[in-house]
């Protein structure tokens, strides 16, 4: 249904062409849900903004750690997709991984291996303790950063505090 997202190409005399940027295709897919859905737009907008911010932190952390920044950005955009669509956060990481796999399959944006990698990160992103793949850790840490920096005047969630301190050290952001 969404695999034919089009835009006008300014370099091609206004002709409509297929977009090639996977991140923009995915972002537009999510925006279509935001603008076409019924329900409380404020809640859905909050989750949309959270997912976009997490995706940007994913890109930053992936670049820092030598992970695939494009796939990390896509994982960030999809990590709370179940909550975004259904307003249900119970077991949202597991349910979100299933939904993300369906979306990526419908949009035909990723290989099976890339889809597995993205969905693994989504499935584990709520687990703030433990050890996961380096790619999974990018999304976990990006989620912690967004939660912790959403309002810098409030302390991080207790479950996020240890990771947040490590991230401040990793990016040399601790006060002298």
pLDDT tens-digit profile of 129-142?
778 999 999 999 99
What pLDDT is attached to residue 36? 86
Share of the chain above pLDDT 70, in %: 88
Model confidence at 25: pLDDT above 70: yes
Position with higher pLDDT, 119 vs 34: 119
- State how far Cα 57 lies from the chain centre: 9
- Alpha carbon dihedral 45, 50, 20, 34, in 10-degree steps, equals -20
What pLDDT was estimated at residue 20? 62
28-52 mean pLDDT? 89
What residue spans of the chain are helical by DSSP H? Answer: 22-36, 41-65, 69-78, 81-86, 92-107, 112-124, 134-149, 158-170
Q: Which residue has the tokens 């952001």?
A: 173
**Thinking of the domain 40-170, which architecture would CATH place it in?**
Orthogonal Bundle (1.10)
| pLDDT of residue 106 exceeding 50 | yes
Confidence band, pLDDT 50/70/90 cuts, at residue 176: low
Strands 16-18 and 6-8: antiparallel
pLDDT at residue 105 greater than cutoff 60: yes
Q: For 3-22, what is each residue's pLDDT tens digit?
A: 333 344 444 444 434 446 99
Task: Determine which of 23-27, 85-89, 160-164, 165-169 has the lowest per-residue pLDDT on average.
Answer: 85-89
- Token reading at 176: 């002298």
Contacts of 60 (CB under 8 A, 6+ apart): 142
The pLDDT, as a whole number, for residue 43 is: 86
**More confident of the two residues 125 and 41:** 125
- Report the alpha-carbon angle 137-81-61, nearest 5: 25
Whether pTM exceeds 0.75? yes
The CA–CA distances, whole Å, from 15 to 2, 10, 18, 19 equal: 19, 8, 10, 12
């Amino acid at each position: 249904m969404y695999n034919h997202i089009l835009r006008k190409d300014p370099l091609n005399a206004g002709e409509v062409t297929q977009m090639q940027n996977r991140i923009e295709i995915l972002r537009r897919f999510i925006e279509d849900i935001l603008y076409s859905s019924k329900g409380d737009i404020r809640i859905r907008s909050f989750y949309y903004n959270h997912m976009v911010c997490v995706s940007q932190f994913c890109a930053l952390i992936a670049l820092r750690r030598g992970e695939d920044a494009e796939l990390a950005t896509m994982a960030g955009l999809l990590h709370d997709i179940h909550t975004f669509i259904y307003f249900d956060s119970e077991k949202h990481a597991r349910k979100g991984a299933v939904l993300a796999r369906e979306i990526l399959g419908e949009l035909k944006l990723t290989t099976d291996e890339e889809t597995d990698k993205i969905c693994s990160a989504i499935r584990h992103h709520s687990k703030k303790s433990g050890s996961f793949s380096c790619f999974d850790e990018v999304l976990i840490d990006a989620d912690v950063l967004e939660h912790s920096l959403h309002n810098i005047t409030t302390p991080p969630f207790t479950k996020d505090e240890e990771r947040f301190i490590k991230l401040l050290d990793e990016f040399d952001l601790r006060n002298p």
